[in-house]
Amino acid sequence: MRMTTSFTGSRGVRYPAPDVARGFMLLLIAVANVPSWNKMPNGAEPPVSSVDGWWMFVRTLLVDHRAYPLFAMLFGFGLMTMINRRIASGTQTYLASLPGAPEGREPMPHEAAWAREMATIDAYRLVRRRGWWMLLFGFVHGLVFPGDIIGAYGLVAALLANLLARKNYAALYLTGGIISVLALGTYLASGTLSGGDTLTASGEQSVSLTAALLWVGSNIVQWVIVLVVQVLIALIIPAVVIGARLADTDILTQPERHRRLLISVGLGGLALGALAAFHGALTLATSIQRWPTDFAATEFFGLAGACGWLALLVLYAGGPRPDGRLTGLRRLASAVGRRSMTVYLSQTILFGIIFGIIPLLVTGRRLWMGQAAAALVALGVWLATVVLCLLLERGGHAGPFETLLRTAVARSERRRTPAPPPTVWPGMQPGPWPMMQMGGQPGAPAPMQPGMPPAAHPGVQPGVPVQPGMPPQTQPGPQPTP
């Protein structure tokens, strides 16, 4: 089975590193999300044994607040890759529609600029549509899991679509910098904000329609709060910008060329993130008191840890294989990574069944267990999604939610009439503008500027064809006074 071929047709080589990184990232996300489901009947955290405490210590150093920035970087990489491909293919399509193109006429500079501009607009609209649909998908997911991340990524895509399509990195860097400063200030001021984990509905619930409606209503409110928090005072936007910038390099597509850089970023990023989170993590395994800055350090430097994970995973995945095949763990991770939305949503379904539906139906209460045991459940859920993805891969199928999203994005495209291409005036030759002339005969008009019609000539009537390379012939009719 080919592992590096795109689902959406022949778009060239599909590099394995981003897919492999997404696959392992979803394991980290399962581990990070399972505490949101593992609540006692009164909504409190389960009792922590010594094993649980040291597991939480490790999880805080390496997983918490690292998995989602990693997800965001890979999302930004995917958006920019989509934009680059859409602009490249769209430019060729628009150029092929120009008069004379089928006969081999070379496009003029202003025509090439027009084609690229039209393709850039198409790419911007594609990303924006995809973003709005992801926001809707996230809302539906948020009905059962208010810690949803799909909606936030969709909103970020819709808001940044134009800047990304035009590669306005100055504005993107500025936006990311402002968000980072705002986030750090918020973390330091609050010291208690922890994102979606604390906003998940839990507690003792009866199995009734009224209870279900109240639970869903509570989740909607919490989803909106989490959405605002994630976009404005989390590090999603800076991470998306980093990922988008990486897509314009070959660091992720040809990692063997950047081994030293990737090793340095991998080890340094994980070490920096772990060092920043060390004291806060230690409070989970020992009796020492928390510092007011513990949460800020863990959250803010989580982006460094995410960069470390990305570098090491990309280095592990390597570049494209000559035969396009992957084996072993790379094959498993790639199959999962190319169906990341399906896997992410499947985790919610499985967690809901394990911790909610079955226990509520049997005992009337949610299931809870120690944090270390819950991590094993997360591993089991991830392995179950691996099996699902391998079955889909064997049948040559994309993930069902990926297919649904792509179908929605494609069918919601509005038919638009593009701006007409610049007119090619008779006798204009391809080449730099200073060299463009009408025919080259003595007395020919001066070179024209892009988008400007040719100068009118005495006696030339509108609509009368002019032969390329020949001066206009005087037509019968009133002549101007000399």
Across the 482 residues of the chain, what is the mean pLDDT of every consecutive 10-residue run? 39 80 96 89 70 94 94 96 95 90 86 92 96 98 95 97 97 97 90 44 58 88 94 94 96 94 97 96 90 92 97 93 82 95 97 91 85 96 97 94 96 83 57 41 44 46 48 48 46
Would residue 57 count as lying in a domain?
Answer: yes
Count the Cβ atoms, other than its own, within 10 Å of residue 461: 9
Judge whether 437 lies within some domain: no
Report pTM: 0.82
> 126 CB contacts (<8 Å, ≥6 apart)?
82, 83, 86, 409, 413
Q: Could you tell me the two tokens for 78?
A: 């995917």
Query: What angle is formed at CA 479 by the lines to CA 474 and CA 481, rounded to 5 degrees?
Result: 130
pLDDT of amino acid 444: 42
Does residue 450 belong to any structural domain of this protein?
no
Other Cβ atoms within 10 Å of 5 Cβ, number: 16
CA distances from 357 to 99, 206, 365, 388 (A): 63, 11, 9, 21
User: Residue 474 falls within a domain, yes or no?
Assistant: no
Candidates 280, 168, 159, 273; CA nearest to 227 is 159
Query: Is 110 within a domain?
Result: yes
Between the CA of residue 66 and those of 71, 135, 199, 306, 312, what are the distances in Å? 9, 22, 19, 5, 14
Alpha carbon distance 407, 401 (integer Å): 10
Question: Residues 392, 395, 399, 404: is their CA dihedral positive or negative?
Answer: negative
Q: Reduce the secondary structure of the chain to three states and give it as a string.
A: CCCCCCCCCCCCCCCHHHHHHHHHHHHHHHHHHHHHHCCCCCCCCCCCCHHHHHHHHHHHHHCCCCHHHHHHHHHHHHHHHHHHHHHHHHHHHHHHCCCCHHHCCCCCHHHHHHHHHHHHHHHHHHHHHHHHHHHHHHHHHHCCCCCCCHHHHHHHHHHHHHHHHCCCHHHHHHHHHHHHHHHHHHHHHHCCCCHHHHHCCCCCCCCCHHHHHHHHHHHHHHHHHHHHHHHHHCCHHHHHHHHHHHHCCCCCCCHHHHHHHHHHHHHHHHHHHHHHHHHHHHHHHCCCCCCCCHHHHHHHCHHHHHHHHHHHHHHHHCCCCCCCCCCHHHHHHHHHHCCHHHHHHHHHHHHHHHHHHHHHHHHCCCCCCCHHHHHHHHHHHHHHHHHHHHHHHHCCCCCHHHHHHHHHHHHCCCCCCCCCCCCCCCCCCCCCHHHCCCCCCCCCCCCCCCCCCCCCCCCCCCCCCCCCCCCCCCCCCCCCCC
Under 8 Å CB-to-CB from 399, ≥6 apart: which residues? 338, 339, 340, 341, 342, 343, 389, 392
- Residue 36: inside a domain: yes
Q: What is the pLDDT of residue 367?
A: 86
8 A C-beta contact, residue 58 and residue 20:
no
Q: Please check whether residue 431 lies inside any domain of the structure.
A: no
Number of domains in the chain: 1
Rounded to whole angstroms, the Cα distance separating 15 from 281 reads 36
Which of 62, 56, 70 minimizes the C-alpha distance to 26? 70
Rg (CA), the chain: 29
Q: For residue 249, which of 421, 115, 7, 76 has the smallest C-alpha distance? A: 76
Domain that holds residue 46: 18-411
Would you say residue 225 lies in a domain? yes
CB 270 within 8 A of CB 67: no
Q: What are residue 100's phi and psi, to 5 degrees? A: 85, -10
